[in-house]
Chains A and B, each alone.
Chain A
Amino acid sequence: MDDLRGRWLGEIAEAGDEAAIEDVRVRALGKKGEVALRMRELGRMTPEERQVAGPALNALKSELNAALAARAAALRDAALEARLAEEWLDVTLPARRRPEGSIHPVSQVTEEVTAIFADMGFGVAEGPQVEDDWHNFDALNIPWHHSSREEMDTFYLAAPEGRRPHVLRTHTSPVQIRSMLENGAPLRKICPGRVYRADYDQTHTPMFHQVEGIAVDRDITMANLKWCLEEFCGAFFEIEPKGLLRFRASHFPFTEPSAEVDIRCSWEGGALKLGQGDDWLEILGSGMMHPKVLEAGGIDPAQWQGFAFGMGIDRIAMLKYGIPDLRAFFEADLRWLRHYGFSPLAVPSLHAGT
């Protein structure tokens, strides 16, 4: 019996392919196989003999079946391994290209600004970029002869006879007027968008972006304005808001009192750092809305008051992201767009950070 087992296990181990395995199986376990023949002999045995030989034969049969299956699996594994070895690829070859797009800093920063002001209850208003002279100037307390009209480097459209030429809006402030006329008071809006001035040099482009903000209510004060701007700048630049801003008296026709707003900064080592040091950098203009502007917006200045501010979106983008040259914003150089642009998935939000 031991001899039988040893022989067949040996043959199974030597079987080199599926066919050889099948051949061994037939010769050992097939109907006329050696084990089967031995099983047939059981009938001729004494009961005592049979009691010993029967289970032994059955055990042998099971063992050989298992060995056959194991051998077959081993052969398949070996074949697979050989195939996989054949299938070697140079994994350092470049991956398949995925197109990669980007969001312009102006769009990204506009969304950042919107997210922050939305949290303080400001909606977003928009308006036309070609404006009539009333919305761009008169309604903002800039009469037609005012010298600041000249200083604004206004772009005029060719005028048909008989009326003053329309302008490319020189600021987003006309949207203040339109929102007040549309919504009345109380009101909290920001108005981002393109504005135009006839100026082109190192730091000026004939088109740039502003965001205007207004809040009108019964008792809004300039102190509220300062808080609002501090909160904004703190959140936007991701620095401590307390003591970040400095107001200083100035003049805008549409606000009274008016203030230029400076942000604390340091130029140590030639690098600009916001929120530290003792230097100040002018960042925006603001003030309490002029009674005449409220009136032009259809709001009674005896009942309501409000603040307004305006800042350059491109400018705060440059400050936050360290972008050196304003002109490059509008040149659409792919290298620049890639470097300063943002992933389409990086949607600004307050909970994830702007």
Chain B
Amino acid sequence: MKFTLSWLKSHLETDASVDEIAETLTDLGLEVEGVTNPGDTLRPFRIGYVEAAEKHPDADRLKVCRVRTAAGVKQIVCGAPNAREGITVVVAEPGTYVPGIGTTIRVGKIRGVESHGMMASEREMELSDEHDGIIELPSGEVGESFADWLAANEPGKVDPVIEIAVTPNRPDALGVRGVARDLAARGLGQLKPRDAAPVEGTFPSPVGVTIDEGARGACPVFYGRLIRGVRNGPSPEWLQRQLKAIGLRPISFLVDVTNWFTFDRNRPLHVFDAAKVKGDLRVHLAEGGERLVALDEKEYEAIPGAVLISDDDGVESLGGIMGGEATGVTDGTTDVFLEAAYFDPVRTALTGRALRIHSDARYRFERGIDPEWTPEGIEHATRMILDHAGGEASEVVVAGTIPETARSYAFDPCRLRTLVGMDVPEAEQRAALEALGFRVEGGQAHVPPWRPDVQGDADIVEEVARIASLAKLEGVPMPRPAGVPEPVLTPAQRRERAARRQAAALGYAEAVTYSFVAGQDAEAFGGGGEAVRLDNPISSEMSHLRPSLLPGLLRAAARNQSRGRMDLALFECGYVFDGGEPGEQRLTLAGLLVGRTGPKDVHGEGRARDLFDAKADLEAVLAAAGAPPRAQTFRDLPGWWHPGRSARLGLGPKATIGTYGELHPKVLEAFGVKGPAVAFEAMLDAIPLPKGKGPSRGALEMSNLQPVERDFAFLVDDKVAAQDVANAAQGADRSLIESVRVFDEFRGLEGGKKSLALAVRMQPKEKTLTEDEIGRVSDAIVAKVGRATGGVLRG
């Protein structure tokens, strides 16, 4: 919402400066987005007086002038035809930036004669296109600021434009008068009365109006009247200037009047060319499919329930949104039918949204105008038309009744203290409400009809607080729990943090990538269904909720690789989506390792990352998240993993807590990642939370007896899992065998066999082991491994 200072002052008697007004508006909740002051660029220009002007010795068209300026008498060379002795002029002294020519004035020689400044034209100061000569002022003292002179003599030329952001609850502030009312309530001036005497109609309106029974909710009231014999044409200069200042294009006087009331009073109006209206006007709801070419010259098709205004020829206007072209006013219009109606906010919003029409009228009706000002609005507009365009007004035709807005809420002066925490005397609170148009009576505040947003006691408190200024609110400490605050994080939240910091400690950089990915990226990881599709994605790259963190990480890896970072370790911790219902989300942590462990180095330690790197990191992250140490390994992973080099860890066949392995080469190719790449995912939500056992760790048992370590080498079939062999060995004597570690694998032996070497550590608890006892355990290991995996001890 834009308006000029002088426009505001036509409603508000005030001496406040534009800065003061802007600050106050922002404090009142009408946030100032900008103030454009044309006077600002004129600030350095000062008034001067030409004492003498002589012809330039070397140029016929130039004159050498002696000009009295703020800095004394100066010699200025000037080419303007009207430069002559005895005129009052506007001087740009050396150092002044002249906006119209984009130059800073310097002392210079013009055809050999020194010139100490410039005398300016209107165009050079961007005041108008006038450039026939330099400005001659009818008054003004030498040295006086030209901007000040303009403000005093031609204020329209330096009228500051104020732009405010109006929140959706304040339709009244979409009119300059509403803005002025807020300022007056704050005490920044007096609201000026601006009444218009009603215009007595001299003949019955030849155009009648009816509202269909079914449309009374959508358009409860319609005031209209015909004015005949008007002279349309360009608006008077003040009106054109006000409209231009706020960015509107003057069209013709009659149209400009409707636009002006839209901004002056938040009172949209419409004018029909009465000569083009056939018969009476009828307000009704659309059945759907009715067509209309609107004033923006576009054709629209009404949705069912839209408010239409029709005559005998058909639909002529989209009520509350935009008039029709066929009955639009032109320069040749002599008889005009003026409409002031009230349209329901919800209906207006729905129609406007469906037809995608953004008009100033729609914007206001859908937020809510003052319905009670409808009869006054039509009188004000009639008066303005008669004053400038002449003509004769008919009687007013009225259809429907003004909708009831009267309501009141408790006004309890104590609430300001108990809800906001401010102290303002009751009389002041009451005065603020009354200045805003509330009627305070018997403990009730009656809401003015222009404030549809006020819907309860809290709103009354807000109005008082707003006018008193929230800037004055002083903080008051909240009661706090006595003593040391208790921890607030849930076990799940603590676990997420631990997992995240563990991943970073393992060398991964944490990324945060978008929760939506391209459809094909989602599909590549088993997602991308209709349930997770966005209806209005911002681009096709962000069309589906992610089924996994890996597509986002892979895209990030490809971007980094394209910048020359070939080896990388990235992780993300966030939600992935199994479906499109609230709650169908899982917290996971995924890590991606691409390339080598590091660049070539002097220690020769760099190597390609493999799945065991991912497995180690997964195990560390799971441990940090409190997962039980022993999980089963399953090799049945979906197709985006390498079929032979990937697995999942589960606490049962279905309770997957992690996946790890190499990604499928085709997936890497699709994502543009130069592989190989290994990854892991930890399903943090799937890890059971620890049962409340308290902080105690339990007793530590440590034996002083020497442990014994024995190595075994088994020959097994190539596809036998090392874990099965180790588990079998461990099972040979659970009390004595402390650990079994696979320390060597040799594949490709005769008959499809491989050799696995195990280090078994036995820890006696009561007495040192004898060779016999060690032998017995060894035999049990060999037997157990043989039974479980078919492995035989290698000779």
Contact = CB atoms under 8 A, between A and B. Distances in A.
Interface stretch (B93-101, B331-339, B480-488, B776-784): B480-488
A96 B603 contact: yes
Nearest to B26: A248
Nearest to B587: A126
B581 interface: yes
Where chain A touches its partner, the secondary structure class is mixed
Interface stretch (A7-15, A16-24, A328-336): A328-336
Contacts of B581: 130, 166
Interface stretch (A40-48, A62-70, A76-84, A214-222): A214-222
A155 B504 CA distance: 32
Contacts of A337: 509-511
Contact of B535 (A96, A119, A157): A157
A206 B542 contact: yes
A249 B465 contact: yes
Contact of A227 (B419, B476, B584, B585): B476
Contacts of A158: 530-531, 533-535, 580
Contacts of B597: 97, 99
A341 B476 contact: no
Given A207-B514, A251-B168, A257-B420, A338 B471 contact: no
Contacts of A150: 353
Contacts of A126: 493
A329 B556 CA distance: 12
A165, A220, A337: residue with the most chain B Cβ atoms closer than 10 Å: A337
B478 A102 contact: no
A120 B505 contact: no
A333 B563 contact: yes
B504 A156 contact: no
B28 interface: yes
B510 A219 contact: no
B751 interface: no
Given A103-B500, A120-B480, A157 B462 contact: no
B233 to A, nearest CB: 37
A106 B286 CA distance: 51
B169 interface: yes
B580 A157 contact: yes
A224 B28 CA distance: 21
A135 interface: yes
Contacts of B503: 101
Interface stretch (B287-295, B565-573, B647-655): B565-573
A145 B28 contact: no
B514 to A, nearest CB: 5
B189 to A, nearest CB: 19
A168 interface: yes
B23 to A, nearest CB: 10
B602 A93 contact: yes
Contact of B585 (A118, A129, A345): A129
Contacts of B350: 145
A106 B478 CA distance: 28
Query: Chain B contact residues (Cβ within 8 angstroms of A): what range?
Result: 35 or more
B447 to A, nearest CB: 14
A150 B536 CA distance: 13
A332 B511 contact: yes
Interface string B527-570: 00011111111100010010000001100100110010100111
Contacts of B542: 206
A194 B514 CA distance: 10
Contacts of A135: 582
A131 B582 contact: yes
A137 interface: no
A292 B422 CA distance: 23
Interface string A154-168: 011111000001101
A111, A114, A158: residue with the most chain B Cβ atoms closer than 10 Å: A158
Interface in A312-346: 329-334, 337-338, 341, 343-345
A206 B538 contact: yes
Nearest to A96: B603
A58 interface: no
B577 A130 contact: yes
B610 interface: no
B698 interface: no
A248 B471 contact: yes
A194 B515 contact: yes
Interface of B: 26-29, 31, 167-170, 345-346, 349-350, 353, 366-367, 417-422, 453, 456-459, 461-462, 465-466, 470-471, 473-478, 480-481, 485, 487-490, 493, 497, 500-516, 530-538, 542, 545, 552-553, 556, 559-560, 563, 565, 568-571, 573-575, 577, 580-585, 597-598, 601-603, 605
11 contacts: A103-B504, A119-B485, A121-B481, A123-B488, A124-B488, A130-B585, A145-B345, A147-B168, A224-B476, A228-B478, A248-B26
Nearest 9 pairs of A and B residues by beta carbon: A99-B507, A223-B421, A227-B475, A249-B29, A332-B556, A221-B421, A257-B462, A251-B167, A344-B504
Interface of A: 93-94, 96-104, 106-107, 111, 114, 118-124, 126, 128-132, 135, 145-148, 150-151, 155-159, 165-166, 168, 194, 196, 198-200, 206-207, 215, 219-224, 226-230, 246-251, 253, 256-260, 288, 290-291, 305, 329-334, 337-338, 341, 343-345, 347
